Structure 1
Amino acid sequence: MTDLPSSPIENRLRVLLIDDQRMVGEAVRRMLASEPDIDYAFCQDPAQALATAESFTPTVILQDLVMPGIDGLTLVERFRANAATRDVPMIVLSSQEEAVVKADAFARGANDYLVKLPDRIELLARIRYHSRGYIHLLERNQAFADLAENQRVLAGELAEAADYVRSLLPAPQDGAIAIRWDFESCSSVGGDAFSYQWIDDDHFAIYLLDVCGHGVGAALLSVSVLNTLAARTLPNTDLRRPESVLANLNNVFQMERHNNMYFTIWYGVFNRSSRELRYATAGHPPALLFDGAGPNPRQLVAPSLPIGCMEDMDYPVGTVQVPTGGRLYVFSDGVYEVRLPEDREMTLEDFIPFVADAPDQSAGIKAVRERVAALQGRDRFDDDFSLVELTFA
């Protein structure tokens, strides 16, 4: 990329002439003197040509080919090897019209060739043509530089958002309910978040949500929902009743009040005494319960619309008995909605055998992500990967 001038050019044309003859320098000065948008500099010593160009920041360089102490074509090469002048247009000046010399000049980096001294109208036309092209190049490079900086800042913000979401996730736990999880934020940061907590001595809640879209906005909404549930500040809500939780989340987080974003959620409450699991879902994939009776899990879903789509929604509740040793998997659709090499999207049915085999994998549920990544042919996912495993003693 071209190094930008040290001072703004502001669409002014800046002409640098390098010629050992002062008479030529004066003649060119007079040709340009009546042009209000052209700044002119003259360098008579070719040994100072590079330094003069770096300080003057020309939009076009006029350079004689025959000067004492240095070959003009060699000086052209030096300009092209210098980062500050590499892309500045160069018009070489010669006293002769020679095809071989012209070809050599162009081969070494010259942009144009004039027999000196040219007609004033022609010289001005070439100066303006080459200067406009160079100014456009600088403007394009500045736009690219600004875009790269914006992308760098955005990437930093997304990384911070992903780190913040991860910092809020609960630690894995052992005991009567052993919990392991795997979470990998996608490159653009999705809206996944999950948590679990004892509501009282007998009731344990597990929930996982997925905000639509990606970016900082989705992450902030997921964090807001997570904090609301963790702090138990959802109004008029019994956290032991999934239908109450989802109905009140829907009332509080209507999409028109949250930048048109909605979210899906799976929310379940396990009663330790009765071993009953009550659950409700809002547009979310089913949780999978393996009860030891066979390789096929029970799919725990109570279909309903996502949170925020419509006011005053009722959310049906499902119930299931959890046997000793039962395994429950709660996840977002990012764990299986991946593109496969055979140009189709992986389905939930494709994914189920991966979690069915998870206890037999040395890496546990992390092996699930590794297997899905291998299947799609790359490590990074287009959506957040969130998978929580609960084992009930």
Structure 2
Amino acid sequence: LRDDLQAAARYVQSQLPLPFIHEGIRVDSRVIPCNALGGDFISHSAHNEGISFYLLDVTGHGVASGLLAVSLHHSIRQILARNNPTVSPGALLTELNNLFRFSSQDGRFATMWYGHIDTKSRILRYASAGHHPALLIRNAQPIELGEGETPIGIVDDIEYSTTTVMLEPRDRIYLFSDGLFEQSSRFGGHQFGRDALHALILDESMTPDTTASNRSTILDRIITNIRADMGIVTFDDDVSIMELAL
């Protein structure tokens, strides 16, 4: 059983994306499961039509959540293959929700934030299925993108909406799972908090780009700071975070 679990964990790890730069947009991410398998999944890919990216978070953690996250990932790939990478984010979430029923997934559901950037026009289109907002950093100001609507797998026949944003030079977009800001402190039990995470992301995103490696470690610095502030070594929940930097 342990060998099977390790093999499954290696497979999930192999499905996670590597960082890249495409048409001047740098994309990087981190996924840290609290067990061998976790319910967080991140994807970002470049293609002729731009960059598609998403973060999904299945309730719970462990084997069942991890396998459902991978299943959702493969379903998304099939939806994109049937359509094309520029399919409306809202339409994609609608089709995905129709494939996954709450009653057939042992009561599990998933929140998800999906976006597509047209790298020529610099237009971002996105949709959210019950996920907390992504964070856009523009001119040293944090802007929340897209909280609302229903998680995947709870309500049948729901239609998700798509929102459009014109991006600007030096914009940065951050997606993250709730494992980061809901982490409890070992010094008193309080949670790190979403406002504190926003402030930390803003602070780290303003660090001067002195070297290429300096930028590549911003996500590691965010994670390290939360661990230090909370007095922890490992997180209580799965943790994931993504950065897209124009």
TM-score (norm 2): 0.87
**Superposition deviation, residue 163 in structure 1:** 2.7
**Residue 274 of structure 1 is aligned with which of 121, 144, 148?**
121
Aligned pair in 2 of structure 1 residues 215, 158: CA closer, same or farther (>3 Å)? farther
Alignment-mate amino acid for residue 135 of structure 2: L
Structure 1 Cα separation of the partners of residues 168 and 180 of structure 2: 26
| Structure whose alpha-carbon radius of gyration is higher | 1
**Superposition deviation, residue 269 in structure 1:** 1.0
Structure 2 Cα separation of the partners of residues 250 and 185 of structure 1: 24
**Superposition deviation, residue 234 in structure 1:** 7.2
Partner of 1:197: 45
Matched, 1:366 2:223: no
Query: Which one scores higher on RCO, CA 8 angstroms, separation ≥ 6?
Result: 2
Deviations 1:162-185 (A, max 9, x none): 332221011111242211212211
Partner of 1:336: 181
**Residue 201 of structure 2 is aligned with which of 309, 333, 355?**
355
Structure 1 Cα separation of the partners of residues 80 and 115 of structure 2: 18
**Superposition deviation, residue 300 in structure 1:** 0.5
What is the SS of the residue equivalent to 2:14? Answer: helix
What is the SS of the residue equivalent to 2:117? Answer: strand
Structure 2 Cα separation of the partners of residues 174 and 251 of structure 1: 33
Aligned pair in 2 of structure 1 residues 280, 185: CA closer, same or farther (>3 Å)? same
Structure 2 Cα separation of the partners of residues 170 and 240 of structure 1: 20
Structure 2 Cα separation of the partners of residues 287 and 227 of structure 1: 23
Higher strand fraction: Structure 1 or Structure 2? 2
Partner of 2:60: 213
Structure 1 Cα separation of the partners of residues 33 and 198 of structure 2: 21
Deviations 1:192-214 (A, max 9, x none): 1111223x523321111011112
Structure 2 Cα separation of the partners of residues 221 and 342 of structure 1: 34
Structure 2 Cα separation of the partners of residues 205 and 233 of structure 1: 10
**Superposition deviation, residue 247 in structure 1:** 0.4
| Identity of matched residues, % | 33
1:291-310 alignment to 2 at 5 Å? 291=138, 293-294=139-140, 296-310=141-155
Alignment-mate amino acid for residue 190 of structure 1: G
1:1-393 alignment to 2 at 5 Å? 153=1, 157-175=4-22, 176-187=24-35, 189-198=37-46, 201-232=48-79, 239-291=86-138, 293-294=139-140, 296-340=141-185, 341-359=187-205, 360=207, 362=214, 363-392=217-246
Structure 2 Cα separation of the partners of residues 285 and 370 of structure 1: 22
**Superposition deviation, residue 161 in structure 1:** 3.3
Deviations 1:329-350 (A, max 9, x none): 1111111111122322222101
Aligned pair in 2 of structure 1 residues 338, 302: CA closer, same or farther (>3 Å)? closer
Structure 2 Cα separation of the partners of residues 173 and 234 of structure 1: 22
Q: Is the 8 Å Cα contact of residues 162 and 185 (structure 1) preserved in structure 2?
A: no
Runs of 5+ consecutive residues of structure 1 not aligned to the other structure = 1-152
Runs of 5+ consecutive residues of structure 2 not aligned to the other structure = 209-213
Structure 2 Cα separation of the partners of residues 212 and 158 of structure 1: 19
Structure 2 Cα separation of the partners of residues 212 and 288 of structure 1: 22
Q: Is the 8 Å Cα contact of residues 56 and 110 (structure 2) preserved in structure 1?
A: yes
Deviations 1:108-154 (A, max 9, x none): xxxxxxxxxxxxxxxxxxxxxxxxxxxxxxxxxxxxxxxxxxxxx45
Structure 2 Cα separation of the partners of residues 197 and 238 of structure 1: 10
Structure 2 Cα separation of the partners of residues 213 and 349 of structure 1: 23
**Superposition deviation, residue 357 in structure 1:** 2.4
